[in-house]
Amino acid sequence: MRTFQKILAGGAAVVVVLAAAGLALTHQGEIAPQSAIAAADFTPQQIAKGKLLAAMGDCAVCHTAPNGKTNAGGLAMPSPFGTIYTSNITPDLQTGIGSWSYEAFERAMRHGVDREGQYLYPAFPYTAFSRVTDEDMKALYAFLMSEPAVENEAPKTALNFPYNVRRGIAAWNWLYLKPGVVKDDEKQAPEWNRGAYLVEGLGHCSACHTPRNGLAAEKTGEFHLTGGSAEGWDAPALTDKTASPLPWTKQDLVDYMKTGFSARHSVAAGPMAPVAHGLSQQSDADIDAIATYLMSYRKADAAPGDAKALIEEKTAKPKLALDAEGYRLYQGACMACHKADPSGSSFGVRPQLALSTSLHSASPDNAIMAVLEGVQHPAHADLGTMPAFRHALSDAQIATLLNTMRAQYGVDEWKDLPAKVGQLRKQTQAH
């Protein structure tokens, strides 16, 4: 019995020692708050550069709640572990980051630890931001600190155990955080290296366009940029694994980033619309560099394909009776804007559904979301909007409509589609 007690006591002592060591190793001290913002230290050129960098990094996309003030936080971000609320990143001294020195800002951006020493959830893509240069980081800080301060106490994130133990993120960081500025590849041209820096750093494209493992970390190697998810939408592959009926060319990518629309593919919708808006503010050289880098993930010798011929092939003859329910739904809800002949449009651009990646994808999520949500906030006003059919069409009707389109374009129907529509409708009903 005494031996057993000694073992228990010894085990308990080991646990205490390990716990103490864990607390010591994961402790992050508070960085003293600043009482005022040294706006005089920022140059106009630095602020202007920071504004473009903020657009590249989509700061406002995540840190602005619906109908809220820009960057004042409070956006609810669903995750497999619970709802995470974004923080106020305006320079308000009490509720924002106005009390944050550059040292505190840099630590959060590169190491995922806030001014108070609290670990940030990696829904904030500091794994990508850690790869930004000092010059760009300081410019971004200058811009954010020069913006209007907004007093807004964003909701506190409160996940269930064990995800509420933020020090556990230290282990996650040890596994997956690899800080360090994106390095140039001497074998590549300067344009390619610039694109790599923007895509893998502040642009954090992989945060959405790369699948994640069971610990919500991005998969690496062959999985990089092969498709992920964001806010109920699929983020399609940026590699040659895309389901697009036509290969993406460099010019397609440039057009899409500049305007939010590619005539050979589709229009930016869902969470990609504000991203495209931010990209459109970048210089022509940077957009070209991003396109150059992304094209290196695709087959260089792939023929671009003939969009007009493909549309004619897929739409020349109806595959089902014209009085079938799916066609009636298409004629009532879709044809006015999406007919094969795009001439005479008074509603902005007319994406060709025969070329739509969403309708040719193995996953129905984006096609469903487009019908449910529409495009209420396009990347640019001249693109036009698409109405939401959430309240006009039932789950069964949306399923019939989408599978009819799939049949027309020579693609097998999605299985159990009404149930999937219902699932996504429920998940996004607060929108």
Share of the chain above pLDDT 90, in %: 71
Task: State yes or no: pLDDT of 199 exceeds 90.
Answer: yes
The candidate with the shortest Cα–Cα distance to 233, out of 372, 133, 343, is 372
Say how far apart CA 91 and CA 190 lie, in whole Å.
36
Q: Which of 90-104, 189-203, 373-387 has the lowest mean pLDDT?
A: 373-387
pLDDT for the residue numbered 340: 72
- Please count the structural domains in the chain: 3
Q: Render pLDDT for 292-305 as a digit per residue (tens, 0 to 9).
A: 999 999 987 778 88
My answer on whether 353 and 313 are in the same domain is yes
My answer on whether 274 and 389 are in the same domain is no
- End residue of a domain, out of 261, 295, 329: 295
CATH number at residue 382: 1.10.760.10
Q: What is the 3-state secondary structure (H, E, C) of the chain?
A: CHHHHHHHHHHHHHHHHHHHHHHHHHCCCCCCCCCCCCHHHCCHHHHHHHHHHHHHCCHHHHHECCCCCCCCECCEEEECCEEEECCCCCCCCCCCCCCCCHHHHHHHHHHCECCCCCECCCCCCHHHHCCCCHHHHHHHHHHHHHCCCCCCCCCCCCCCCCCCCHHHHHHHHHHHCCCCCCCCCCCCCHHHHHHHHHHHCCCCCHHHHCCECCCCCECCHHHCCCCEEECCEEECCCCCCCCCCCCCCHHHHHHHHHHCECCCCCECCCCHHHHHHHHHCCCHHHHHHHHHHHHCCCCCCCCCCCHHHHHHHHHCCCCCCCCCHHHHHHHHHCHHHHCCCCCCCCCCCCCCHHHCHHHHCCCCHHHHHHHHHCECCCCCHHHCCECCCCCCCCHHHHHHHHHHHHHHCCCCCCCCHHHHHHHHHHHCCCC
pLDDT for the residue numbered 343: 61
Asked whether residue 19 is assigned to any structural domain, the reply reads: no
pLDDT for the residue numbered 1: 40
Asked whether residue 159 is assigned to any structural domain, the reply reads: yes
User: Where residue 310 falls among pLDDT bands split at 50, 70, 90?
Assistant: very high
Q: Render pLDDT for 42-52 as a digit per residue (tens, 0 to 9).
A: 999 999 999 99
Q: Residue 82 in contact with residue 160, Cβ under 8 Å?
A: yes
Average pLDDT, integer, range 264-287: 95
Q: Render pLDDT for 130-186 as a digit per residue (tens, 0 to 9).
A: 999 999 999 999 999 999 999 999 989 888 888 888 889 999 999 999 989 999 999
Say how far apart CA 295 and CA 310 lie, in whole Å.
22
pLDDT for the residue numbered 345: 56
Beta bridge pairs of residue 233? 230
Q: Render pLDDT for 230-258 as a digit per residue (tens, 0 to 9).
A: 888 999 999 999 999 999 999 999 999 99
My answer on whether 170 and 40 are in the same domain is yes
- End residue of a domain, out of 295, 319, 347: 295
Asked whether residue 381 is assigned to any structural domain, the reply reads: yes
Say how far apart CA 34 and CA 93 lie, in whole Å.
9
Side chain identity at residue 331, one-letter code: Q
Say how far apart CA 373 and CA 385 lie, in whole Å.
11
CA 247 to chain CA centroid, nearest Å = 22
Q: How far is CA 109 from CA 56, 120, 136, in A?
A: 15, 10, 12
pLDDT for the residue numbered 337: 85
My answer on whether 329 and 405 are in the same domain is yes
Asked whether residue 8 is assigned to any structural domain, the reply reads: no
Q: How far is CA 246 from CA 241, 345, 365, in A?
A: 12, 23, 20
My answer on whether 60 and 129 are in the same domain is yes
Query: Which residues, including other chains, have CB under 8 Å from residue 82's CB and lie 6 or more apart?
Result: 157, 158, 159, 160, 163
Task: State yes or no: pLDDT of 5 exceeds 90.
Answer: no
Asked whether residue 252 is assigned to any structural domain, the reply reads: yes
pLDDT for the residue numbered 41: 86
My answer on whether 171 and 74 are in the same domain is yes
Say how far apart CA 224 and CA 328 lie, in whole Å.
41
Asked whether residue 1 is assigned to any structural domain, the reply reads: no
My answer on whether 96 and 35 are in the same domain is yes
The candidate with the shortest Cα–Cα distance to 156, out of 126, 114, 125, is 114
My answer on whether 129 and 77 are in the same domain is yes
My answer on whether 239 and 368 are in the same domain is no
My answer on whether 147 and 119 are in the same domain is yes
Asked whether residue 6 is assigned to any structural domain, the reply reads: no
Per the structure, the complete domain to which residue 60 belongs is given by 26-176
Cα angle value 369/279/367 (rounded, 5°): 15
Average pLDDT, integer, range 73-86: 87
Beta bridge pairs of residue 42? none
Q: Which of 1-10, 33-42, 178-187 has the lowest mean pLDDT?
A: 1-10
pLDDT for the residue numbered 161: 83
User: Where residue 18 falls among pLDDT bands split at 50, 70, 90?
Assistant: very low
281 class by beta-carbon count within 10 Å (0-12 exposed, 13-18 middle, 19+ buried) = middle
Average pLDDT, integer, range 361-381: 93
pLDDT for the residue numbered 427: 85
Say how far apart CA 94 and CA 75 lie, in whole Å.
19
Average pLDDT, integer, range 108-118: 96
Beta bridge pairs of residue 229? 234
My answer on whether 239 and 286 are in the same domain is yes
Task: State yes or no: pLDDT of 270 exceeds 80.
Answer: yes
Q: Residue 269 in contact with residue 370, Cβ under 8 Å?
A: yes
CATH number at residue 263: 1.10.760
Task: State yes or no: pLDDT of 15 exceeds 60.
Answer: no
My answer on whether 164 and 30 are in the same domain is yes
Asked whether residue 14 is assigned to any structural domain, the reply reads: no
